[in-house]
Amino acid sequence: MSDARTSYLRGIRDALPFTVVIVPFAMMFGLLATEAGLHLYEIMAFSVAVFAGASQFAALQLLQDHAPVLVILATALAVNLRMLMYSVALAPHLGAAPLRTRAAMAYLLVDQTFALSTAEFERRPALTMAEKTGYFFGAITPILPLWMAATVTGAVMGRAIPQDYALDFAMPITFLAMIAPLLQSRAHLVAAAVSVALTLMLGFLPYGTGLLIAAATGMAVGAILEALQEKAKA
Partner 1 sequence: MIDRTQFWLVVVLLAIGTYAIRFSFLGMLGNHPLPRWLVRSLRYTAVSVMPALVAPAVLWPAATGGHTDPARLSAAGATILVGMFTRSMMRAIFAGVVVLFTVQSLLG
Residues between 84 and 123 that touch partner 1 (CB under 8 A): 84-88, 90-92, 94-95, 99, 102-103, 105-107, 109
Q: How far is CA 178 from the centre of its chain?
A: 9
The answer to the question of residue 63 lying near partner 1 (CB under 8 A) is yes
Q: Among residue numbers 148 through 207, which ones bind partner 1 (CB under 8 A)?
A: 166, 168-169, 171-184, 187-188, 191-192, 194-196, 198-200, 203
> Among residues 2 and 161, whose Cβ is nearest to partner 1?
161
Among residues 84, 105, 83, which one has the least CA distance to residue 94?
105
Q: What's the start-to-end Cα distance of the chain, in Å?
A: 49
| Contact between 193 and 51 (Cβ < 8 Å) | no
Integer angstrom CA distances of residue 126 from 120, 132, 156 = 11, 10, 46
> Among residues 10 and 93, whose Cβ is nearest to partner 1?
93
Work out how close the CB of 14 gets to partner 1 at its nearest, in angstroms, rounded to a whole number. 18
The answer to the question of residue 20 lying near partner 1 (CB under 8 A) is yes
Work out how close the CB of 1 gets to partner 1 at its nearest, in angstroms, rounded to a whole number. 28
**Dihedral angle sign, alpha carbons of residues 174, 175, 181, 186:** negative
Q: Among residue numbers 205 through 224, which ones bind partner 1 (CB under 8 A)?
A: 211, 214-223
| Contact between 152 and 26 (Cβ < 8 Å) | no
